[in-house]
Amino acid sequence: MKSSLKIFALILFASLFLSFLSQQQHKDPIYYNKQGKPSSKGIDTYINKNHDNLIAEYEYRIDTLYDVYLFTENLDETGDGDLGNFYLPDYIIINNKERYVEYEYKNLTKYQQKVMPHTARTVKGVLFHELTHAYFNQILIVSKQEGLPTSPEYGNIRLFPNPSSRFGAGVCEYVVYYLNESSPIREIRIPTTIDELTEKENRVNIVYGYSVVF
Protein backbone atom coordinates (compact mmCIF):
# COMPACT_ATOMS: atom_id res chain seq x y z
CA MET A 1 0.00 0.00 0.00
CA LYS A 2 2.77 2.41 0.94
CA SER A 3 4.63 1.53 -2.25
CA SER A 4 1.54 2.36 -4.33
CA LEU A 5 1.18 5.71 -2.59
CA LYS A 6 4.82 6.55 -3.28
CA ILE A 7 4.43 5.66 -6.95
CA PHE A 8 1.28 7.77 -7.17
CA ALA A 9 3.04 10.70 -5.49
CA LEU A 10 5.99 10.45 -7.90
CA ILE A 11 3.67 10.32 -10.91
CA LEU A 12 1.73 13.32 -9.63
CA PHE A 13 4.94 15.29 -9.01
CA ALA A 14 6.29 14.40 -12.45
CA SER A 15 3.01 15.46 -14.07
CA LEU A 16 3.03 18.81 -12.29
CA PHE A 17 6.70 19.38 -13.12
CA LEU A 18 6.22 18.57 -16.81
CA SER A 19 3.17 20.83 -16.90
CA PHE A 20 5.27 23.63 -15.38
CA LEU A 21 8.06 23.11 -17.94
CA SER A 22 5.59 23.09 -20.80
CA GLN A 23 4.07 26.31 -19.55
CA GLN A 24 7.50 27.98 -19.39
CA GLN A 25 8.40 26.85 -22.91
CA HIS A 26 5.23 28.33 -24.41
CA LYS A 27 5.59 31.74 -22.80
CA ASP A 28 6.00 34.58 -25.26
CA PRO A 29 9.64 35.83 -25.13
CA ILE A 30 8.38 39.37 -25.74
CA TYR A 31 6.61 39.30 -22.39
CA TYR A 32 8.71 36.89 -20.29
CA ASN A 33 12.35 36.63 -19.27
CA LYS A 34 14.36 33.39 -19.23
CA GLN A 35 13.03 32.57 -15.77
CA GLY A 36 9.45 32.69 -17.06
CA LYS A 37 8.62 35.89 -15.18
CA PRO A 38 7.34 39.19 -16.64
CA SER A 39 10.22 41.03 -18.34
CA SER A 40 10.79 44.79 -18.21
CA LYS A 41 10.01 45.15 -21.90
CA GLY A 42 6.98 42.92 -21.50
CA ILE A 43 5.65 45.01 -18.60
CA ASP A 44 6.03 48.16 -20.72
CA THR A 45 4.21 46.48 -23.60
CA TYR A 46 1.47 45.05 -21.36
CA ILE A 47 0.63 48.42 -19.81
CA ASN A 48 0.87 50.40 -23.07
CA LYS A 49 -1.08 47.88 -25.12
CA ASN A 50 -3.82 47.22 -22.54
CA HIS A 51 -4.04 50.71 -21.01
CA ASP A 52 -7.64 51.42 -22.03
CA ASN A 53 -8.93 47.87 -21.52
CA LEU A 54 -7.49 47.61 -18.00
CA ILE A 55 -9.08 50.89 -16.93
CA ALA A 56 -12.37 49.90 -18.60
CA GLU A 57 -12.37 46.60 -16.68
CA TYR A 58 -11.76 48.42 -13.40
CA GLU A 59 -14.57 50.86 -14.14
CA TYR A 60 -16.94 48.03 -15.08
CA ARG A 61 -16.22 46.10 -11.89
CA ILE A 62 -15.81 49.03 -9.44
CA ASP A 63 -16.88 52.49 -10.63
CA THR A 64 -16.12 55.26 -13.12
CA LEU A 65 -12.70 56.91 -12.93
CA TYR A 66 -11.82 60.39 -14.09
CA ASP A 67 -8.83 60.69 -16.42
CA VAL A 68 -6.00 58.50 -15.19
CA TYR A 69 -2.76 58.08 -17.13
CA LEU A 70 -0.56 55.01 -16.86
CA PHE A 71 3.22 54.89 -17.30
CA THR A 72 6.01 52.41 -16.61
CA GLU A 73 9.44 53.11 -15.17
CA ASN A 74 12.11 51.38 -13.11
CA LEU A 75 11.15 52.75 -9.70
CA ASP A 76 14.01 50.81 -8.13
CA GLU A 77 16.32 53.31 -9.85
CA THR A 78 14.23 56.48 -10.02
CA GLY A 79 11.82 56.19 -7.11
CA ASP A 80 11.33 54.51 -3.77
CA GLY A 81 11.36 50.96 -5.11
CA ASP A 82 7.63 50.39 -4.77
CA LEU A 83 5.94 48.24 -7.39
CA GLY A 84 3.63 51.10 -8.23
CA ASN A 85 2.79 54.66 -7.25
CA PHE A 86 -0.18 56.96 -7.73
CA TYR A 87 0.82 60.59 -8.18
CA LEU A 88 -1.62 63.41 -7.66
CA PRO A 89 -3.63 64.43 -9.43
CA ASP A 90 -4.03 61.84 -12.18
CA TYR A 91 -1.17 59.52 -13.12
CA ILE A 92 0.21 56.16 -12.10
CA ILE A 93 3.68 54.69 -12.59
CA ILE A 94 4.06 50.91 -12.58
CA ASN A 95 7.53 49.62 -11.77
CA ASN A 96 8.90 47.66 -14.74
CA LYS A 97 11.56 45.96 -12.65
CA GLU A 98 11.32 42.18 -13.06
CA ARG A 99 9.81 41.47 -9.64
CA TYR A 100 6.35 40.12 -10.51
CA VAL A 101 5.16 36.50 -10.50
CA GLU A 102 2.84 36.99 -13.49
CA TYR A 103 0.88 39.59 -15.45
CA GLU A 104 -2.50 38.40 -14.18
CA TYR A 105 -3.49 36.05 -11.38
CA LYS A 106 -5.60 33.90 -13.74
CA ASN A 107 -2.43 33.04 -15.71
CA LEU A 108 -1.06 31.09 -12.75
CA THR A 109 -1.82 27.39 -12.36
CA LYS A 110 -4.13 26.32 -9.54
CA TYR A 111 -1.12 24.97 -7.69
CA GLN A 112 0.83 28.22 -8.13
CA GLN A 113 -2.17 30.18 -6.86
CA LYS A 114 -2.41 27.89 -3.85
CA VAL A 115 1.22 28.23 -2.76
CA MET A 116 1.77 31.87 -3.78
CA PRO A 117 2.34 34.09 -0.72
CA HIS A 118 0.06 37.07 -0.35
CA THR A 119 3.00 39.45 -0.76
CA ALA A 120 3.74 38.11 -4.26
CA ARG A 121 2.34 40.47 -6.88
CA THR A 122 0.94 40.38 -10.40
CA VAL A 123 1.30 43.40 -12.69
CA LYS A 124 -2.48 43.70 -12.96
CA GLY A 125 -2.87 43.40 -9.19
CA VAL A 126 -0.45 46.28 -8.59
CA LEU A 127 -2.21 48.37 -11.24
CA PHE A 128 -5.64 47.77 -9.67
CA HIS A 129 -4.18 48.70 -6.28
CA GLU A 130 -2.92 52.02 -7.66
CA LEU A 131 -6.16 52.67 -9.58
CA THR A 132 -7.97 52.36 -6.27
CA HIS A 133 -5.68 55.04 -4.81
CA ALA A 134 -6.78 57.25 -7.71
CA TYR A 135 -10.44 56.38 -7.16
CA PHE A 136 -10.15 56.98 -3.40
CA ASN A 137 -8.62 60.39 -4.05
CA GLN A 138 -11.34 61.14 -6.61
CA ILE A 139 -14.07 60.41 -4.02
CA LEU A 140 -12.37 62.69 -1.48
CA ILE A 141 -12.07 65.58 -3.93
CA VAL A 142 -15.70 65.30 -5.08
CA SER A 143 -16.88 65.06 -1.47
CA LYS A 144 -14.99 68.21 -0.53
CA GLN A 145 -16.22 70.09 -3.59
CA GLU A 146 -19.82 69.18 -2.76
CA GLY A 147 -19.41 70.04 0.92
CA LEU A 148 -19.94 66.48 2.08
CA PRO A 149 -18.44 65.41 5.42
CA THR A 150 -15.09 63.60 5.27
CA SER A 151 -13.05 62.03 8.02
CA PRO A 152 -10.75 64.53 9.85
CA GLU A 153 -7.55 62.73 8.83
CA TYR A 154 -8.21 63.81 5.24
CA GLY A 155 -8.67 67.46 6.17
CA ASN A 156 -5.31 68.59 4.77
CA ILE A 157 -5.94 67.30 1.25
CA ARG A 158 -5.99 70.18 -1.22
CA LEU A 159 -8.09 70.14 -4.37
CA PHE A 160 -5.09 70.40 -6.69
CA PRO A 161 -2.05 68.90 -4.95
CA ASN A 162 0.90 67.66 -6.95
CA PRO A 163 3.23 65.44 -4.89
CA SER A 164 3.06 61.67 -4.74
CA SER A 165 0.31 60.68 -2.34
CA ARG A 166 -1.25 57.56 -0.89
CA PHE A 167 -4.76 57.19 0.43
CA GLY A 168 -6.52 54.14 1.81
CA ALA A 169 -3.91 51.41 1.23
CA GLY A 170 -6.08 48.89 3.08
CA VAL A 171 -9.06 49.70 0.87
CA CYS A 172 -6.85 49.31 -2.21
CA GLU A 173 -5.67 45.89 -1.11
CA TYR A 174 -9.23 44.79 -0.37
CA VAL A 175 -10.25 45.75 -3.93
CA VAL A 176 -7.32 43.76 -5.38
CA TYR A 177 -8.43 40.73 -3.38
CA TYR A 178 -12.10 41.28 -4.32
CA LEU A 179 -11.16 41.42 -8.02
CA ASN A 180 -9.28 38.09 -7.76
CA GLU A 181 -5.81 39.47 -8.41
CA SER A 182 -4.35 38.28 -5.12
CA SER A 183 -3.75 34.94 -3.42
CA PRO A 184 -5.98 33.80 -0.54
CA ILE A 185 -5.25 35.30 2.87
CA ARG A 186 -3.64 32.79 5.26
CA GLU A 187 -2.64 33.04 8.91
CA ILE A 188 -3.41 36.73 9.30
CA ARG A 189 -1.97 38.17 12.47
CA ILE A 190 -4.76 40.20 14.05
CA PRO A 191 -3.44 43.12 16.15
CA THR A 192 -4.78 43.15 19.70
CA THR A 193 -3.15 46.35 21.00
CA ILE A 194 -2.44 49.85 19.70
CA ASP A 195 1.29 49.08 19.85
CA GLU A 196 0.87 46.05 17.59
CA LEU A 197 -1.25 48.10 15.22
CA THR A 198 1.35 50.86 14.92
CA GLU A 199 4.57 48.81 14.97
CA LYS A 200 6.52 49.35 11.74
CA GLU A 201 7.32 45.66 11.31
CA ASN A 202 3.59 44.87 11.32
CA ARG A 203 2.78 47.30 8.51
CA VAL A 204 2.80 44.78 5.66
CA ASN A 205 0.68 42.30 7.61
CA ILE A 206 -1.88 44.95 8.55
CA VAL A 207 -2.04 46.96 5.34
CA TYR A 208 -1.83 44.04 2.93
CA GLY A 209 -3.40 41.30 5.02
CA TYR A 210 -5.52 42.18 8.02
CA SER A 211 -7.17 45.10 6.19
CA VAL A 212 -8.58 42.64 3.63
CA VAL A 213 -10.38 40.52 6.20
CA PHE A 214 -11.20 43.34 8.64
pLDDT of residue 211: 60
Most confident by average pLDDT, 80-89, 156-165, 185-194: 80-89
- Across 22-26, 111-115, 178-182, least confident range: 22-26
Strands 84-87 and 91-95: antiparallel
Q: How many structural domains comprise the chain?
A: 1
Q: Which residue has the higher pLDDT, 44 or 13?
A: 44
Structural domain contains residue 185: no
CA-nearest of 211, 38, 214 to 124 is: 38
Structural domain contains residue 203: no
Structural domain contains residue 18: no
Q: What is the residue range of 72's domain?
A: 26-166
Rounded CA gap, 22 and 33, in Å? Answer: 15
Structural domain contains residue 118: yes
Average pLDDT of the segment spanning 7-26: 47
Q: Which residue has the higher pLDDT, 67 or 6?
A: 67
- Across 16-20, 70-74, 140-144, 149-153, least confident range: 16-20
Contact 81, 126 (CB under 8 A): no
Is residue 209's pLDDT more than 80? no
Average pLDDT of the segment spanning 176-198: 75
Average pLDDT of the segment spanning 130-159: 76
Using CB atoms within 10 Å of the CB of residue 184, give its burial: 0 to 12 exposed, 13 to 18 middle, 19+ buried: exposed
Torsion of CA 183, 109, 132, 100, to 10 degrees: 90
- State the pLDDT confidence band at 21, using cuts at 50, 70 and 90: very low
Structural domain contains residue 184: no
Helices (H), 146-205: 169-178, 194-198, 203-205
CA-nearest of 111, 110, 123 to 37 is: 123
- Across 2-6, 16-20, 41-45, least confident range: 16-20
Rounded CA gap, 103 and 152, in Å? Answer: 37
Structural domain contains residue 211: no
Rounded CA gap, 152 and 155, in Å? Answer: 5
- State the pLDDT confidence band at 141, using cuts at 50, 70 and 90: confident
Structural domain contains residue 189: no
Is residue 15's pLDDT more than 60? no
